[in-house]
Every structure is written in structure tokens, then in C-alpha cells.
Chains A and B, each alone.
Chain A
Amino acid sequence: MTHEEPSGVRFSPDRSAAIRKLLVNVPEPGTPENKLLQRIQRVWIVIPVVAGSLLLTAGAVVAIQAQVTNTDHVNCFARAELNFWGEFPGTRVTLLEGTIGESEGGAVPITDALALCSDLWAQHLLDATLPSGVSPDPVDRTFSYPVPDPLTVCVMDDGMAAVIPGGPEVCRRLGLAERSG
């Protein structure tokens, strides 16, 4: 059998110990790890393509700030374009949990919209050169595709975060609020 680790690479002792400690707590009733995993049955990402034919909105003239109030979804823009109907090139991401027993499931709050959309760029799910902004190819699990720099988090009318290529001015240009705080 040939099951040597490639290049003799070894598991980091510190991480191994930490993972082991985590796992030992998982089956033990009452531990935080056990409670968390009892709730998780299924999580997946929903990625509908929401872009239609695009008409760039006229930029709003007043800069406003708002907080993200809807963390169930994140809109990842492939380009800084938004039409009258709220469509854009890119994708909306939702994270869902199922239920086990009597625990409640539902959407998992997405607390780091920027990191989530950056991951989609790195996996080539987002492609600014395509009309839809979403690559039809399988994702690149090497996370090697470039992430636009900068990306800015704006807030849409419905309180969802929108992560858009461009600097802070991009929110105002698309008529969106800048994220406050």
C-alpha cells in the first residue's frame, strides 16, 4: 500500500492536538460542540443567477450609511453594476441549516460577507468577464483565482450586504448605502 503523505508533510502537532480536543467533546452530551452539531443537519449554499439584461443605475447623489440587518443572504457582485430592478451580475448566497429533533433550523447568519464573497472569487465562481458574472465551470478548489482588490461592503435597500468590486465610492455610485460601524 502506498499511503505515505506526499512529500513527507506531517500534520502540525498543535493543530492535531486542538482538533483532537475538539473531537473528544463532540459526542459528549452537554458540551458546546455537541450542542452546536446537534443543530446542524445540512447546510448548503444557494446560488441563483440574478442578473438579467443590465442597465446601470444613475448614481444617487446623497451618501447614506446603514447597517446590515439581513444576514441570511449576501449578494456577491461580479461587477459594480445594478439595474432598476435590483438585478446585478453575480450571485446571492444563502447558508441554511436543517433540523434534528426539536431544534430549530433555518438560515445561518453570515457574519463575514467580505470573506464569503472573497472565497467565491478565489474559487472562480465569480467572473467579471461573463455577462452573468457567474462561471458555469466547476469551482476551483485550489482557491487560486484573484480576488478583486478592493472589495467594498454596501447595504442594499432590503438590509442585505452587497460585496462589490471597487472602493468606498462604489456604494454611492450604485445608489446603495455605505455600511456603517
Chain B
Amino acid sequence: MDTFDGEVTDEDLWLQVLAGDGRAFGVLFDRHRDRVFGHGLRLVQSRSEAEDVTAVVFLEAWRCRARVRIIDGSILGWLLVTTGNVARNHLRSRLRYQRLVRKLPPSDDQPDHMDAVLDAHDTRTRQRSVRHALAGLSARDQQVLLLCVVEGMPTADVSQLLRIPPGTVKSRLSRAKQHLAHRLAAGAATQASPAMKGESS
């Protein structure tokens, strides 16, 4: 078991990682795996791909360790931004780490049980519509929309992460929402988007 206190900040853990402590990297993975995975799952098509993306995001954190940005003691924002980039460059990222990722066990993606499929059908239909509409947005619009709305990150944090003024974040977010709404309305499925419900200011 790793013995890091639960109150140790990401920043402290990251310093340990930089000093060569692999256990600290494991704790960071435990802490943020699900958020990174969930974010990746919105951008790729399968669980196994999202798992690969998650692995690559953490490997990228190590590779780009000199440039990792910690905001308010948390590495999560940087990981989420990187998740978007990795998902967009899935092939390139996979090739970069192919010698490591190939060592991982294959995904055990299984068809869902019928009851679960029926229960989830409506949700999945909506999610497919949103995912399709999202895919039609520019990379910059996708990024701001996912970070601000879906992940609920404050405008100020997104501003710091993306190195753009807060006003630009807001205007880009407004434009992204308009584009998303337009695309959803134009699509076959016009149900309300879960992504549009979760905004925090």
C-alpha cells in the first residue's frame, strides 16, 4: 500500500514524482483516473480507446513534466486539457507509446447485459447525439465547452490552463454553446443535451 496522506496535494505528489518516486505517480493515477477516463470517453468511441487515452495522458504528464501546470494545487486541469489533445491525436499518441501500451492486457470489452442495454438505451441515444454534435465543433470550442460545462471548471482556472484571458474563455464558451445548440437542433436527435445542464459559473 502507498502511505501518502489523503490530504497531500497534487503539487506535493508531483514534486515526489519528479524526484523519482513512482508510488506518488500511482497515487495521482488513483486520484484522477476516473475523471480522465470519463473525459476521454466523451471524445473517443469505445471504453478500450478511452482506457488507452488515459494511460497515454499520464505518460504524457511524465514526458512533458517540465511543462505540467498545477492550478490551485491540482494537476487535474492539465490532465483534462491533455486528454483532449491526446484524444484528437490518438494515432500519433498511440504510436509514441506503442512499446509500452502493447504490454497492457487487452481490453475485456463485453456486450452489455440486455437489461442494462435497455436501461441505458435512451441515455446512450442522447449521448450519441451530443457526441456527434461535439465532434462537429472546432477543437478550441470543444475544449472550452468540455472543460467549463462538462467538467465544471471555473473560468479563471480554464483561463490559466489555456493561457487565454478570462473574457476569451467566456466568449469562446458562448460561441461553442451556440454552435452545439445549432448542431443538435439540426441533427436527427433533438433531445436536451446533458452537457448543457451542468454549467457552473
Contact = CB atoms under 8 A, between A and B. Distances in A.
B119 to A, nearest CB: 10
Contacts, number: 137
Given A3-B152, A19-B54, A119-B91, A26 B37 contact: no
Nearest to B76: A3
B87 A3 contact: no
A62 interface: no
Q: Interface residues of B: mostly helix, strand, loop or mixed?
A: helix
Contact of B92 (A16, A29, A43): A43
Interface string A109-126: 000000010011001000
A1 B76 CA distance: 14
B95 A19 contact: no
B25 A36 contact: no
Interface string A10-37: 0110111011101111111101010011
A11 B25 contact: no
Given A9-B47, A15-B107, A43-B95, A1 B198 contact: yes
Given A19-B55, A23-B29, A3 B150 contact: yes
Interface centre among A2, A14, A25 (most CB of B within 10 A): A2
A80 B184 CA distance: 41
Interface residues on B, range: 35 or more
Contacts of B50: 9
A53 interface: no
Contacts of B20: 27-29
Interface in B59-118: 59, 62-63, 87-88, 90-92, 95-97, 99-100, 103-105, 107-108
A156 B61 CA distance: 39
Contacts of A8: 120
Interface residues of A, number: 45
Contact of A45 (B34, B45, B92): B92
B177 interface: no
Given A3-B38, A4-B38, A26 B62 contact: yes
Given A15-B104, A20-B29, A28-B22, A141 B92 contact: no
A143 B18 CA distance: 35
Contact of A5 (B25, B37, B62): B37
Nearest to A141: B90
A41 B67 CA distance: 13
Contacts of A44: 92
B193 to A, nearest CB: 11
B55 A141 contact: no
A6 B41 contact: yes
A22 B104 CA distance: 9
